[in-house]
């Protein structure tokens, strides 16, 4: 009789231990922490290839460019994560960050106060991104500053930092409004300047260099930089993302401090210039 009772007790104890172990594994999984060598998945959003060589589709039909190569370098720096990259434009990436459906956004995002209220910026930028006023060659209207753009037609991308600069100017200068022309592609900006449909746009020095190298000497920079800047990584403003933010920030800083981020950018430009010869 004692033997039978002992066997029953051992069986119940074994079941209890198995149940406890099962609950422990389930709780680990629910916490989002990788266990037993598993990697934590990160959904990373970056815009599709529409602006070569900084954003383009390569000969293998894959999205490529500065953001995608920075993402690849970050993945190598962070083996504890598994990056799942989705190609979405800037506006869609911001919406995805709002909803929390993506963990990290790389779309050459520049800093502005409005955006900083909604998202967390990386500690360092990975590419210089100062903005200048760009006008047709010869600057026929004599534009030198933002004030000179009042009453002029100026093209830009929706949801971009250049759009923010122009919109912010209008908000603070009701008597000198800029007519903002929103476009979806770079060729629309170029055609607007060439045809005279628009009077100016905003761009970086490297952006102008690329345009002139590919399409001829049709535009030039007017005046000094109106907006010094960098391209940053964006994160959702959520508490549960703190570890991801810390890890990505540390990895990005390593890439910048080592010069690797600059080498990625330089290599892109050299590869692209070689295709023009």
Domains and CATH numbers, the chain: 40-128+230-276 (3.40.190.10), 131-227 (3.40.190.10)
Q: How many CB atoms lie within 10 A of CB 195?
A: 9
| pTM over cut 0.75 | no
Could you give the count of Cα atoms lying within 13 Å of 107 in the half-sphere of its Cβ? 27
Q: What is the mean pLDDT of the chain?
A: 85
**Percent of the chain scoring above 70 in pLDDT:** 86
Among candidate residues 161, 56, 124, the one with its CA nearest the CA of residue 261: 124
* pLDDT-derived band at 229, boundaries 50, 70, 90: confident
Residue 2, φ and ψ in degrees, nearest 5: -60, -40
The pLDDT score that the predictor gives to residue 33 is 46
* pLDDT-derived band at 152, boundaries 50, 70, 90: very high
Please give the average per-residue pLDDT across 121-143, as a whole number: 95
Cα 158 to Cα 48: distance, rounded to the nearest angstrom: 15
Among candidate residues 165, 155, 166, 162, the one with its CA nearest the CA of residue 195: 155
């Amino acid at each position: 009789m004692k033997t039978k009772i002992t066997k029953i007790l051992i069986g119940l104890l074994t079941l209890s231990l198995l149940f406890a172990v099962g609950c422990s594994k389930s709780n680990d999984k629910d916490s989002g922490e990788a266990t037993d060598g598993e990697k934590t998945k990160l959904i990373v959003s970056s815009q599709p290839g529409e602006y070569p060589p900084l954003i383009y589709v390569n000969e293998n039909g894959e999205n490529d460019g500065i953001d995608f190569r920075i993402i690849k370098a970050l993945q190598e720096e962070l083996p504890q994560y598994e990056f799942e990259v989705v190609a979405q434009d800037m506006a869609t990436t911001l919406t995805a960050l709002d909803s929390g459906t993506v963990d990290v956004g790389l779309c050459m995002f520049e800093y502005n106060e409005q955006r900083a209220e909604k998202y967390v910026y990386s500690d360092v930028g990975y590419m210089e991104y100062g903005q200048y006023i760009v006008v047709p060659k010869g600057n026929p209207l004599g534009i030198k500053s933002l004030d000179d753009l009042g009453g002029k037609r100026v093209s830009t991308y929706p949801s971009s930092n250049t759009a923010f600069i122009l919109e912010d100017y209008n908000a603070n200068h009701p008597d000198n409004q800029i007519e903002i022309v929103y476009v979806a592609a770079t060729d629309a900006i170029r055609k607007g300047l060439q045809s005279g449909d628009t009077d100016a746009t905003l761009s970086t020095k490297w952006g102008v260099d690329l345009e002139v190298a590919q399409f001829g000497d049709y535009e030039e920079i007017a005046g000094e930089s109106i907006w010094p800047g960098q391209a940053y990584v964006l994160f959702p403003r959520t508490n549960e993302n703190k570890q991801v933010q810390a890890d990505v920030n540390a990895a990005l800083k390593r890439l910048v401090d080592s010069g690797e981020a600059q080498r990625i950018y330089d290599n892109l430009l050299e590869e692209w210039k070689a295709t023009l010869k």
